[in-house]
Structure 1
Amino acid sequence: MPIGTPSVPYRLPGSQYERWVDIYTRLGVERILFLGSEVNDAIANSLVAQMLYLDSEDNSKPIYLYINSPGGSVTAGLAIYDTIQYVKSEVVTICVGLAASMGAFLLGAGTKGKRLALPHSRIMIHQPLGGTSQRQ
């Protein structure tokens, strides 16, 4: 049996009927977002769009960003970082599992006093990599 994204029942406000939606959509309604993979442009664009939408809907409520990421693209990560700093909503960052490299950087981007790590999670940050490659 394949394992996919779980679906959960959800009743739209004002509706008497439930419909099945994927769990990430349902949690997004509660302002809960996940970074659960390597940081790349597609993931960054999705998270940026979700944060901007949630902030425009109600910037008095916090956005919760759960992070379980080995890191990834610096430019994509900086797009997420800049958006966290830009939105008026508080952004609570929570490490579940691993926040390494860019994942750790984003964990630290949350609102001061709202950066958390669960008891068995791991955080790893390293010196920036840079320079040029000398292939011969």
Structure 2
Amino acid sequence: MALFDKPGRHPLITDTYLMSHSPTDFPGSIAPPSPSNYIYPTVIETEGRNERQYDIFSRLLKDRIIFLGSEVNDQVANVIIAQFLFLQMSDPKKDIHFYINSPGGSVTAGLAIYDTMQFVTCDVNTYCIGICASMGAVLLASGTKGKRFALPNSDIMIHQVSGGARGTASDVERTVDFMYKLKRRLNRILAHHCGKTPEVIERDADRDNYMSAEEAAAYGLVDKVLQSNRELPPITTA
């Protein structure tokens, strides 16, 4: 996981966001960025004589479903956070369902999402579909205890903070010091949610550590491997 979204904001060469994506990829929509040749489906609902059109992600939000399907950066984090806050204001007692298929990304952006997940009073159900790596794994593990799930063929990966530094020797030294602080902070977060010690997390995350859904459940990153949504309680709408 990289430290920051934009290298120009700090003497770090850490921007892992796909530069082919532009902020104009999803104006006025909660849809994540996508290649220009990909078309998101539109959902049309009829109520009497009226028709309403939603992009698919806005329609999912109506059922309290948030979807993270990209790398984590500041722009994506802001959209995810806004959805959490909206659902909290809509009904602070109903569960939020957070589906994650992400290779990770910016630590600072990811921690902003993490803090929001802990801030809202709603229970947050997390689901790994595809892969939850790096910061994606942290967000997966930080759901409400007993409500963290992985689909059977998904993969989860944890590792330590990565980044780079440039500038004066003092700048590099301070950046390295900050990286170690972030590493210890993330180790404490994972330890808290996985029921392990920070020392165990530091050892196990020293290199890329890939786990199957079953292995992640045994490790404490998720609570259950789901075979079907029939195993879940009915989703309540906003």
Whether TM exceeds 0.5 here: the answer is: yes
For 2:123 and 2:49, locate their aligned partners in 1 and report how far apart those are by CA, in whole Å. Answer: 33
Paired position in structure 2 for 1:32: 65
| TM-score normalised over the length of structure 2 | 0.52
For 1:93 and 1:16, locate their aligned partners in 2 and report how far apart those are by CA, in whole Å. Answer: 37
Deviation at 1:36, TM superposition (A): 0.2
1:67 paired with 2:96, answer no
Q: Give the alignment partner of residue 123 of structure 1, picking from 124, 144, 156.
A: 156
**Greater strand share, 1 or 2?**
1
Which structure: larger Rg?
2
Cα separation, partners in 2 of 1:11 and 1:25, compared to 1, 3 Å: farther
C-alpha contact (below 8 Å) 1:10/1:26 kept by paired residues: no
Q: Displaced runs of 4+ in structure 1, greater than 6 A?
A: none
For 1:3 and 1:70, locate their aligned partners in 2 and report how far apart those are by CA, in whole Å. Answer: 20
1:51 paired with 2:63, answer no
Q: Which runs of 5+ in 1 are unaligned?
A: none
Deviation at 1:20, TM superposition (A): 2.1
For 1:10 and 1:56, locate their aligned partners in 2 and report how far apart those are by CA, in whole Å. Answer: 24
Which string of whole-angstrom CA distances, capped at 9 and with x for unpartnered residues, describes residues 47-80 of structure 1? Answer: 1011011001101110000000000000000000
| Identity between Structure 1 and Structure 2 (%) | 57
1:7 paired with 2:78, answer no
Deviation at 1:131, TM superposition (A): 7.1
1:102 paired with 2:135, answer yes
Paired position in structure 1 for 2:200: none
Structure 1 residue identity aligned to 2:76 = I
For 2:70 and 2:114, locate their aligned partners in 1 and report how far apart those are by CA, in whole Å. Answer: 16
Q: Which secondary structure does the structure 2 equivalent of 1:51 belong to?
A: helix
Which string of whole-angstrom CA distances, capped at 9 and with x for unpartnered residues, describes residues 100-119 of structure 1? Answer: 00000100110011110000
Task: Kindly report the root-mean-square deviation, in angstroms, between the aligned alpha carbons of the 2 structures.
Answer: 1.9
For 2:95 and 2:159, locate their aligned partners in 1 and report how far apart those are by CA, in whole Å. Answer: 29
**Greater helix share, 1 or 2?**
2
Cα separation, partners in 2 of 1:80 and 1:11, compared to 1, 3 Å: farther
Structure 2 residue identity aligned to 1:126 = H
| TM-score normalised over the length of structure 1 | 0.89
1:88 paired with 2:121, answer yes
Deviation at 1:11, TM superposition (A): 4.2
